[in-house]
């Protein structure tokens, strides 16, 4: 079983290398269903894994001149603070049993997985509908709407903080249309924002969870290696088709998780 689990970890990085985003959405399901971690702990581990892999990608893009540090810091201010506060103060307050209706018990574990599955469905829809249009998105106005930017940052920070997901499928269109960044710069900048959000969010978890550092470093190393494998393979494969195909896979997985958690468990 561990062999399959580590192979799934490699696929997280490979998918990131192949399609440039969206692969991190599979991190929590892999941790829960293959490694047997609890959903809340999986969101914590996911922050570290996603943050580390995104940081590697951000450094690579920065060397190519595809990262706007100013935009990352401006956008990231609200999202980073939101992620940290969510992980430090809100997550520890979530009760194990939230609601009981007849024979149905809504626990924190079920709620986490269902919310994550809903996020997966939205991410899949974005990948399926926009996969072939990604490079055709026209940059928006260069005049920044700071309040709207901060608002988007808080929203993405909440999603990242609650569910441990990077939110690249939300960040990239926002940076292109709202900030006016070219596509390649938006991708690189989003990776830096995701890295900052995730790693600082993970810092807020320290002291709340018993972390298996050896397991966490092992999975992270495999995922990071997968990025380079995926980037190499992606040179000879149509990225838009891969993005759509992966989107359908994520959609099926999201629906499966909803059915499993809400129907099959009760």
Q: Model confidence over 184-214: pLDDT tens digits? A: 888 888 889 888 888 988 988 888 888 999 9
Q: What's the angle, vertex CA 246, arms to CA 259 and CA 156, rounded to 5?
A: 75
**120, 25 in Cβ contact below 8 A?**
yes
Closest of 131, 200, 134 to residue 164, by C-alpha = 200
- Separation between Cα atoms, residue 259 and residue 234, nearest integer Å: 33
β partners of residue 105: 100
What is the chain's length?
A: 266
Residue 150, Cα to own-chain centre: how many angstroms?
19
At 39, list the tokens: 């959903």
How are the residues of the chain apportioned to helix, strand and coil, as percentages rounded to the nearest 5? 75, 5, 20
Tell me which DSSP letter residue 206 carries. Answer: B
Identify the segments of the chain with pLDDT beneath 50.
132, 134-135
In the chain, domain spans: 2-264
Spatial neighbors of 237 by CB under 8 A, at least 6 apart, are 18
Quick one: what percent of the chain has pLDDT higher than 90?
Answer: 21
pLDDT tens, residue by residue, 206-257: 888 889 999 999 999 999 998 888 777 777 776 667 778 888 888 999 999 9
DSSP 19-35: HSSSGGGGHHHHHHHTS
Residue pair 77/147 in contact by the 8 Å Cβ criterion: no
Closest CA relative to residue 54, chosen from 208, 200, 264: 200
């Amino acid at each position: 079983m561990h062999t399959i689990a580590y192979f799934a970890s490699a696929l997280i990085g490979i998918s990131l290398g192949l399609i440039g985003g969206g692969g991190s959405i599979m991190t929590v399901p892999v941790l829960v269903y293959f490694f047997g971690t609890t959903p809340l702990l999986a969101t914590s581990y996911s922050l570290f894994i996603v943050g580390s892999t995104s940081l590697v990608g951000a450094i690579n893009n920065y060397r190519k001149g595809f990262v706007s540090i100013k935009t990352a810091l401006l956008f990231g201010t609200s999202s980073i603070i939101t992620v940290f506060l969510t992980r430090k103060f809100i997550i520890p307050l979530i009760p194990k049993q939230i609601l009981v209706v007849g024979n149905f018990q809504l626990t924190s574990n079920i709620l986490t997985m269902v919310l994550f599955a809903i996020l997966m469905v939205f991410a899949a829809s974005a990948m399926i509908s926009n996969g072939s249009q990604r490079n055709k998105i026209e940059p928006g106005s260069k005049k920044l709407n700071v309040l709207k930017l901060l608002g988007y940052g808080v929203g993405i920070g909440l999603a990242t903080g609650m569910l441990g997901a990077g939110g690249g499928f939300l960040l990239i269109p926002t940076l292109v249309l709202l900030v006016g960044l070219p596509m390649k710069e938006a991708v690189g900048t989003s990776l830096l924002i995701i890295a900052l959000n995730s790693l600082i969010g993970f810092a807020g978890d320290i002291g709340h969870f018993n972390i298996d550092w050896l397991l966490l470093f092992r999975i992270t190393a495999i995922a990071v290696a997968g990025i380079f494998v995926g980037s190499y393979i992606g040179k000879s494969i149509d990225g838009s088709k891969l993005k759509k195909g992966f989107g359908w896979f994520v959609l099926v997985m999201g629906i499966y998780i909803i059915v499993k958690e809400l129907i099959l468990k009760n």
